[in-house]
């Protein structure tokens, strides 16, 4: 039985391990620069703008969901943007992912958040099937654009 609870400072090392597990699954491990200090500062520093819930089974952390508040000017209110969701390999198929998604949906209901949104890699058919079963819409007409590194610095200059 999976239990969901807010992350605490004691989870920082586990969260880093899980972030690396997610990145490995997404074939992006080479992109991971985050450190335990970054996680501690973002989640447990003053006025955090990002939040983390842990999935736990038999007293062991088996997954996490990391999220922040987004906003829709069309809806006229805040939503919840799920940046990461991850379940450790040994806990897959136990309902931990569903428990995390349900927990987030309940937060949306309780806080009046209009949308729960996230992004999925187009080749991740296992995750896509899971999200389809939850009844999630796909919005393929929106293309994510990003400025970072040199291009971002150049525009700022």
CB of 4 to its own copies, least distance (A): 13
Q: Report strand pairing: 3-6 vs 51-57.
A: antiparallel
Q: Closest CB to its own copies among 3 and 102?
A: 102
Whether the CB-CB separation of 95 and 118 falls below 8 Å is answered with: no
Of residues 69, 92, 111, 126, which one binds its own copies by CB under 8 A?
69
Cα torsion through 41, 121, 104, 72, rounded to 10: 90
9 interacts with its own copies by CB under 8 A: no
Q: Compute how many other C-beta atoms are within 10 angstroms of the C-beta atom of residue 93.
A: 8
How many Å apart are CA 106 and CA 122, to the nearest integer?
Answer: 27
Q: Which stretch binds its own copies (CB under 8 A): 6-14, 54-62, 88-96, 142-150?
A: 142-150
Print the binding letters for residues 29-58 with its own copies: x by CB under 8 A, - otherwise: --xxxxx--xx--x------xx--------
Catalytic residue flag (residue 69): no
CB of 100 to its own copies, least distance (A): 11
DSSP state of 95: T
Contact positions with its own copies (CB under 8 A) in 74-133: 74-78, 81, 83-84, 101-102, 105-106, 108-109, 114-123, 128, 131
Three-class DSSP category at 114? coil
Three-class DSSP category at 94? coil
Whether the CB-CB separation of 123 and 98 falls below 8 Å is answered with: no
How many Å apart are CA 134 and CA 68, to the nearest integer?
Answer: 20
Catalytic residue list: 131
- Contacts with its own copies by CB under 8 A lie at 19, 22-23, 28, 31-35, 38-39, 42, 49-50, 66, 68-78, 81, 83-84, 101-102, 105-106, 108-109, 114-123, 128, 131, 134-148, 150-156
């Amino acid at each position: 039985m999976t239990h969901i609870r807010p992350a605490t400072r004691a989870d920082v090392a586990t969260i880093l391990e899980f972030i690396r597990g997610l990145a490995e699954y997404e074939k992006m491990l080479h992109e991971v620069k985050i450190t335990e200090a970054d996680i501690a500062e973002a989640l447990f520093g003053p006025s955090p703008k990002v939040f983390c819930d842990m999935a736990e089974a038999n007293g062991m952390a088996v997954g996490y969901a990391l999220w922040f508040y987004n906003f829709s000017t069309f809806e006229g209110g805040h939503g919840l943007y799920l940046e990461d969701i991850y379940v450790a390999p040994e806990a897959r198929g136990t309902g931990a992912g569903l428990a995390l998604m349900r927990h987030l949906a309940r937060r949306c209901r309780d806080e009046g958040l209009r949308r729960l949104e996230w992004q999925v890699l187009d080749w991740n058919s296992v995750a896509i099937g899971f999200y389809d079963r939850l009844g999630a819409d796909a919005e393929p007409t929106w293309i994510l654009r990003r400025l970072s590194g040199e291009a971002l610095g150049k525009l700022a200059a």
